[in-house]
Amino acid sequence: MAMNDSVNILNSAYLAVEYIDSFLPDNPLQQPFKNAWNYMLDNYTKFQIATWGSLIVHEVSYFLLCVPGFIFQFIPYMQKYKIQQDKPETWEKQWKCFKTLLFNHFFIQLPLICGTYYFTEYFNIPYGWEEMPRWYVLVAQCFGCAVIEDAWHYFLHRLLHHKRIYKYIHKVHHEFVSPFGMQAEYAHPLETLILGAGFFIGIVVFCNHVVLLWAWVICRLMETIDVHSGYDVPLNPLHLVPFYAGARFHDFHHMNFIGNYASTFTWWDRLFGTDSQFIAYQEKEKKKQCITKK
């Protein structure tokens, strides 16, 4: 009975969104996107699209999303939004991070990406334009992927902080006490595999078109680069996402090596009390600000 009620609620929500969507103006980018998508299908094989297409989406998205945070370090006005203002970025650290990223991307992640084609073939995942889900379905699927990945990340990330194994794997990621955007995927190869596995669980559960693979890649990169940016910028659209953790939440984790283990949302840390030190820290900061204003 409960299952039927849940299905009815989801169907009603879907119909409501579909009804609202019917009143929205046509997206002017839809036709160019359709033309580009069909051109890709006509000129490249499924293997090329799934493998090299996925690699290009990941690399271009990753480094483009890192650009704003990289530029912020050269703008004096933006320094007031930097969370750890006493720890500026250095060229030496950024270069070291970049070299490690290239190794992880091409020797760890690329072999995994090569399996994308076989995944889509095994589960008969479509590539065609006609089968592509509507935008609101894609948004819901990406949110579902984020919820699943967040749960995986919380428990495995917390495990990697165990004193018996921390120094062997996760310590690499914590080499930078004050994180910056490009450092989001700076990690030990084993950590890339362990925590990265959570990314694929949602794909297995929700994937009904190859476009979800790319949409979820972009969403996940957008989130992880934001929380590692080191800047708490106002009017950040990601803060509109319910229970979104944000840069200040994750920056505290890098600053203190404890608590705030989740990747995207705050509910797991609240449920298990692993955000208690962060809450206490926030209260102290508020008191300091009040005293300063007086």
Segments making up each domain of the chain, as ranges: 48-75+91-293
Q: How far apart are CA 62 and CA 171, in angstroms?
A: 23
CA dist 266 → 9, 174, 246, 274 (Å): 25, 20, 9, 10
Residue 21 corresponds to which tokens in the numbers above?
Answer: 């969507």
Q: How far apart are CA 36 and CA 163, in angstroms?
A: 50
Helical H segments across the chain, by residue range = 2-21, 30-43, 46-48, 54-72, 91-104, 110-113, 116-122, 135-160, 189-206, 210-227, 247-256, 267-272, 276-293
Q: Is-above-0.75 flag for pTM?
A: yes
Tens-level pLDDT at each residue, the chain (294 residues): 444 544 455 455 556 666 566 666 777 888 999 999 999 999 999 999 999 999 999 999 999 999 999 999 999 999 999 999 999 889 999 999 999 999 999 999 999 999 999 999 999 999 999 999 998 999 999 999 999 999 999 999 999 999 999 999 999 999 989 999 999 999 999 999 999 999 999 999 999 999 999 999 999 999 999 999 999 999 999 999 999 999 999 999 999 999 999 999 999 999 999 999 999 988 887 777 666 655
Q: How far apart are the first and last CA of the chain?
A: 59
How large is the C-alpha radius of gyration of the chain? 21
